[in-house]
Amino acid sequence: MSKALEGVRILDFTHVQSGPTCTQLLAWFGADVVKVERPGVGDITRGQLRDVPNVDSLYFTMLNSNKRSITIDTKNPKGKELLEGLIKVCDVLVENFGPGVLDRMGFSWERVHQINPKIIMASIKGFGPGPYEDCKVYENVAQCTGGSASTTGFREGPPLVTGAQIGDSGNGLHLALGIVTALYHRTHSGKGQRVTVAMQDGVLNLCRVKLRDQQRLKHGPLKEYSQYGEGAPFGDAVPRAGNDSGGGQPGWILKCKGWENDPDAYIYFITQAPVWDKVCKVIGEEGWITDPGYATPEARLPKLKAIFARIEQWTTTKTKFEAMDILNEYDIPCGPILSMKELAEDQSLRKTGTVVEVEHPKRGKYLTVGNPIKLSDSPSDVKRSPLLGEHTDEILTKVLGYDDKKVREFKDSGALGGAKPMAAE
Ligand code: COA
């Protein structure tokens, strides 16, 4: 079975998290991803949050699987020549530099397109055109400017950022979709095009249900928000809704047995209307099945807090896994709060390749995420991240076809940075 993106070559100019997420995804699908890094340092994440001295951090290794690394000083004239060579032989250039960096480097879209009219050039920036287009942006800034922080957390508390990296990894996914779409378009247009994703836009796309609620607010209170049942008035913007379910089915996080000592002994419980009678049976409130005060979703809305408090009396008698097993027998939608420790040890995630253990020459074994998107005929495997500049020679000779003399010329010029001139080797 062949890999889905076999034959596609990516010039990977990405760093930190958003861009590398995108190119890692393409690499998992089989694209040849050539990561260009600054000589001596590389992607800044190689050295950030290190758990083992002098070894690439997990931050880096978990975002750069299946890639090849070449070091090029892009401010060196010979480095620029090398880049031009790579642009000619690549299908896609991906970058997430700060605004204007690539232009300053001499590789504007116009120039890149001139060098290779078939190339797709894909970028992530913090904002689209507008007042903030020149601003640098990191994950949490995007969560704040895209509507996530304002709608996350509890009504009484400040805005909150989420653990899910929707600004970075979320936008890496958006960009990857843009790239494969442009690749498909190229199969009949024959032309490359520019693909851009603004982090603010991507986060807003993921927060669309809140934009929905913003418009619903004009027509009255949001009855499925628990604040409605609590009699708290709504303001003119969508409020933070704690653990309310985003959909039309009320839900909340409830304590389970052991919650006093285990911060993750909780379960998400949804009182889906079609299984309301089963919920009542499980918790021993059969009377609520026919009681007009509880029998319909509308009747229950103002009482949700009290209803969940009653359900919690039942969930605190079970561990989250016992509760999950019982509720699933009745088709009641629920989910235990799984800690990172539990996920790391989960054998079913290992079997599906969603969590993978790989071997690294300097760090030894480490866990990383595998491809969450499964294709039936195009498997993806996970290979360790490259060492800094590990593939520099290989790319010069095999991808660019340079002979020894030409390779020496580049090394002597300093364009490859720390690499010693061949004569001295
Ligand atoms: N050789 C020589 N110089 C290089 C190089 C290389 N191989 N790779 C990068 N550089 C230089 C750039 O040319 C630039 O120099 P300049 O400012 O003199 O033109 C410099 O490195 C800094 O690049 P920049 O991207 O601005 O890095 P930063 O560390 O200052 O900012 C971000 C980091 C993430 C804030 C910024 O890149 C950004 O806003 N990116 C877009 C949004 C994004 O993706 N954010 C999330 C990241 S997870």
pLDDT in tens, 109-158: 999 999 999 999 999 999 999 999 999 999 999 999 999 999 999 999 99
Which atom of ligand 1 is the closest one to the Cα of 171? 44
Residue nearest to atom 28 of ligand 1 (CA): 98
Ligand 1 centre to CA of 33 (Å) is 19
For residue 255, the model assigns a pLDDT of 98
Work out the pLDDT band at 418, boundaries 50, 70, 90. low
35 contact partners, CB below 8 Å, separation of at least 6: 12, 14, 23, 43, 64, 67, 68, 69, 70, 386
Over range 76-88, report the average pLDDT.
97
In this structure, the residues whose C-beta lies within 6 A of any atom of ligand 1 are 16-19, 36, 38, 72-75, 96-98, 101, 104-105, 124-126, 136-138, 168
| Residue 210 pLDDT > 60 | yes
For residue 124, the model assigns a pLDDT of 98
Other CB atoms within 10 Å distance of the CB of residue 44: 14
Ligand 1 centre to CA of 7 (Å) is 28
Residue nearest to atom 16 of ligand 1 (CA): 101
Over range 47-72, report the average pLDDT.
97
Strands 266-270 and 92-95, sheet pairing: unpaired
Residue of 45, 136, 140 to mutate, ligand 1, most atoms within 8 A of C-beta: 136
Residue nearest to atom 6 of ligand 1 (CA): 38
Residue nearest to atom 38 of ligand 1 (CA): 98
Over range 72-94, report the average pLDDT.
97
Question: Catalytic: 325?
Answer: no
Unique residue bearing structure tokens 């996530």:
148
pLDDT tens for residues 362-401? 999 999 999 999 999 999 999 999 999 999 999 999 999 9
Ligand 1 centre to CA of 420 (Å) is 26
pLDDT tens for residues 234-268? 999 999 999 998 667 899 999 999 999 999 999 99
CA-CA distance, 41 to 396, in Å (whole number)?
A: 20
The overall average pLDDT reported for the chain is 95
Work out the pLDDT band at 39, boundaries 50, 70, 90. very high
CA-CA distance, 257 to 215, in Å (whole number)?
A: 40
Q: Distances from the Cα of 109 to the Cαs of 106, 113, 194, 267, 377, in angstroms?
A: 10, 6, 7, 49, 35
CA-CA distance, 69 to 392, in Å (whole number)?
A: 7
Joined tokens for residue 22: 């995108």
**Which pTM value belongs to this model?**
0.95
Over range 318-322, report the average pLDDT.
98
| Residue 420 pLDDT > 90 | no
Over range 32-60, report the average pLDDT.
97
Side-chain half-sphere of 31: how many Cα atoms within 13 Å? Answer: 24
Ligand 1 centre to CA of 18 (Å) is 12
Over range 221-240, report the average pLDDT.
93
pLDDT tens for residues 258-294? 999 999 999 999 999 999 999 999 999 999 999 999 9
| Residue 422 pLDDT > 70 | no
Over range 400-408, report the average pLDDT.
96
Over range 318-336, report the average pLDDT.
97
pLDDT tens for residues 346-366? 999 999 999 999 999 999 999
For residue 224, the model assigns a pLDDT of 87
Ligand 1 centre to CA of 46 (Å) is 15
Q: Among the listed ranges 98-107, 242-251, 308-317, which one has the minimum average pLDDT value? A: 242-251
| Residue 421 pLDDT > 60 | no
Catalytic residue among 43, 168, 201, 244: 168
